Each structure stands twice: as C-alpha cells, then as structure tokens.
Amino acid sequence: MDTNVVGLLKKVGGIITDSHIVYTSGKHGSVYLNKDAIYPHATETAKVGKMFAEKFKDLDIDVVVAPAIGGTLLSQWTAFYLSEIKGKEVLGVYTEKDKGTLAGAAESAQIFCRGYDKFVIGKKVLVLEDLVTTGMSVKKTVETVRKTGGEVLAVGVMFNRVPDKINSDF
C-alpha cells in the first residue's frame, strides 16, 4: 500500500524528508509522513479507500473497522468501495480510546462507542489503520473486534513504519 499512497501524499505536500523527526511514540526518524495532509482532499482520500477495497476485494468482508481518528475516514471510503465492488452493503465503523480508564493514552483500550459493537458481533471484519509506528492502536482494535465477537479476516495499513514487527503480530 505504501508505494501507491506516497504519490498521493506527495501531491498534497504531506512528506517531509531529510530532517530529524521525533515521532509521538518517542522514536526518531528522518522522514515524516503527515498522513493527515491527505484527509482534507476528499478525492485523494477516496482513492486510498479504493486502493484498500481493491486489495481486499476477494475477502468476504462485512464490516471495516479502524481506530479513530485518522482511520475513521479510511474505514468509510473502503467500506463504500467494497460495497460497490461486492454489490452488498459493507459497513464502516470505528473504535475510540477508552477515556474512562486511568491508563495513559498508550495504555488505553480501543472500545466501540455509539452502539457500533452491534455491527461487529458475528461479522467478518477488515481492520484498517493509517499509520503504524508501534502497532498498539491497531493491535488493540483487533483485540476489541475479537472480544466483541467479530472475526478479523485481515489488517490493512496505509503506512507501516515497522513491517517486520507488525506483520508478525497479526
């Protein structure tokens, strides 16, 4: 997914190179992918959703789930295009960080709010994330889907900074 999306991100000015970047995870790098730069551009965001839909079209997906906030738009556009491709409604929902715990942001669980859990119970699920550095948000989203009674068929990531670690975890 990275190579196709990089061109779209470059187009909207979302890539910073040759710099010293400290990511929110505390890790350091020389390239910053401002994945949020694409979201104001609905046409470009839709293209990313279509890329995900094409990639996972052969799976029998009922629901696309992503952690809020960035993944929310991806889940919606991907569900839209999967619905078109498959000729059936594929839903797009999201999880949120559990603000009711005393845990810090990194330790917070991902939970379904707004009654979205009812759309996941007994369903086949594609989990999406826009950017993975440590994998915690997507891992917690997968755990939440499973605890809710959904079956995770696949995990898709727009940008994966640690492919060896993340791919082996799922």
Spatial separation of the C-alpha atoms in residues 55 and 47, rounded to whole Å: 12
Question: Does residue 69 sit within a domain?
Answer: yes
**pTM for the full model?**
0.84
User: Quick one: pLDDT at residue 119?
Assistant: 98
| Dihedral of the alpha carbons of 138, 126, 91, 61, in degrees to the nearest 10 | -170
Residue 6 inside a domain? The answer is: no
Q: Does any domain span residue 88?
A: yes
Mean pLDDT of the chain: 87
Q: Residue 102: what pLDDT?
A: 54
Assign residue 99 the CATH number of its domain: 3.40.50.2020
Total domains present in the chain: 1
Question: Which of residues 165 and 121 earns the better pLDDT score?
Answer: 121
Phi first, then psi, for residue 38 (nearest 5°) are -80, -30
Cβ pair 144, 112 in contact under 8 A: yes
Q: Is residue 32 part of a domain?
A: no
Residue that the structure tokens 């917070």 belong to? 108
Instruction: Please indicate, yes or no, if residue 22 is contained in any of the structural domains.
Output: no
CA distances from 156 to 64, 71, 96, 146 (A): 10, 10, 18, 16
> Is residue 92 one of the residues assigned to a domain?
yes
Whether pLDDT at 14 is above 60: yes
Q: Identify whether 28 is part of a domain.
A: no
**Residue among 136, 147, 92 nearest 114 (CA):** 92
**DSSP letter for each residue of 9-55:** HHHTT-EE-SS-EE-TTS-EES-EE-GGGSTT-HHHHHHHHHHHHHH
pLDDT in tens, 70-79: 889 999 999 9
Does 68 map to a domain?
Answer: yes
Asked whether the CA dihedral 111, 115, 120, 122 is positive or negative, the reply is positive
The domain of 53 spans 41-169
Amino acid symbol at 112:
F
